[in-house]
Structure 1
């Protein structure tokens, strides 16, 4: 009798300790309307993409996912505008990169041209900074998306505490393997869902 109860207890404990599988496709996401709204800013996205070496289609997908194309939106966490930039984090980093002091104002970040330019510049900062050395362009895109929403440090630490070792591990993966790693190892369930949503938005852009 005692043995049977021990077996039952062990099974229950094993069930409680196992990590539940996260379905990053839920709730459903239809990118059609947000992509249509984001497309109105394509001329600015093309200009910013040419200036900073980023695909305008990718910029438009980020706008669709982040703000649905609404330049005046401000999130509960204080992220502002089309590409949802926080003045004291990404905004400040872009200012420092440009050699400016202070932080961008909320009104500045609500300006579509300034917001898209600064958001695109921030992607360039990530690409040439903490993510430098990633060779596969598709893997780099996934890494940029993950870093944009949850930080480059959180991403790299899922591979190694040493940046060079982390980059080397990433370079041994294709985009599917990288995505699977994010699903299994990233501490934020938002990370794989964000990659998935951005990809769906890109697929919806003609």
Structure 2
């Protein structure tokens, strides 16, 4: 959390509506994946502009909090600054904890109260919240955290008056001070409900079912990918420039889906991918491409399943390079192995350590999903 994650390239293209599956699958691509692609790299001028934006953001935060207490949003962590970067909300979706803190010297309790209310009532649409500025959170619609947090009376927090009352309770009973290198911070800690993950899963269950039917991708696989990638955090962002629940990268997987499934020549915007319905649709569509295009020559269904999961994280090229540097020979080697042998190779010999762990995690969460639905 103290590293500067590089993400959020400015995209100014318009979003598109969901369309039926029309995947062009005549010939396999050279190398296209969730985290790597044969597509051109981001232009240098775009990278430079983006790096300047991030440097400015980091400078403003560190000016108030110092280097040691610098935090930024990531896949499993929501981090939002307001109030001249002096006040922030931090949600750890894995631990089920929320911290609202301020280093403001003037009226810190009033600033905390405002931030607590904004956090409790934050919108379900991530495109409405700018994670990389100090703009206020505009409260609108059904709160994203509804059901994931309850007040001191055990009641869900949907309305302003209840959030206001809970904020007052927290400040009166839970306010804590922490010493920082640059001074001190005041904060409150809020526990999410025990089944907070299930509450988030429930929000997107219908979208997962629809995408599963639309693209003929197993529902348990989509579920497991979302849990692995973001812990069902729709605000998720990553150092690789991926967005949303299924962590789709616009210029690689997103571009492939637009071209091969949506019949478009542009790429999805950040706001498009922050929309949960679009994100799940795009992630599932990319699995459709992996299954029917890039890995269509994998003969064994179980082996193909393992290969698809690994390719979603480390690229089709990463899967094949596990077996041979020559792609055609790699496919022959892969098809000559049993599913168990392929699994062992992908979890011990894949060139990327993250991809080796990734396959194990996703398969574990698939089993967990199926056990819960028996």
Match of 2:363 in 1: 199
Matches within 5 A, 1:129-148: 129-148=293-312
Runs of 4+ in 1 over 4 A off after TM superposition: 32-35
Q: Which residue of 2 aligns with 1:170?
A: 334
Unaligned runs of 5+ residues in structure 2 are 1-93, 96-193
- When residues 158 and 111 of structure 1 are mapped into structure 2, their CA distance, relative to the original with a 3 A threshold, is same
Quickly say closer, same or farther: Cα 1:108–1:161, change in 2 above 3 A.
same
Quote the Cα distance in structure 2 between the aligned partners of 1:58 and 1:182: 18
Alignment of 1:100 onto 2:257? no
Matched positions, count: 177
Instruction: Report the TM-score, using the length of structure 2 for normalisation.
Output: 0.45
Structure 1 residue 138: Cα displacement: 1.7
The aligned runs of 1:14-163 (5 Å cut-off) are 36=198, 37-97=200-260, 98-163=262-327
Q: CA RMSD in A?
A: 2.1
2:299 & 2:267 partners in 1: Cα distance? 32
| Deviations 1:126-173, CA, capped at 9 Å, x for gaps | 112221121222211110111010100121122223433322222222
TM-score, normalized by length of structure 1? 0.79
More helix by percentage: 1
- Residue segments in structure 1 that go unaligned for 5+ positions in a row: 1-28
| 1:41 alignment partner, SS class | helix
SS at match of 2:244: coil
Cα 1:34–1:120 shift into 2, 3 Å:
farther
Change (3 A) 1:63 1:33: farther
**Does the CA contact (< 8 Å) of 1:38 and 1:61 recur in 2?**
no
- From the superposition, tell whether residues 33 and 135 of structure 1 become closer, same or farther in structure 2 (CA, over 3 Å): farther
Larger radius of gyration between Structure 1 and Structure 2: 2
Q: Report which of the two has the higher share of strand.
A: 2
Is the Cα contact below 8 Å between 2:226 and 2:245 reproduced in 1? yes
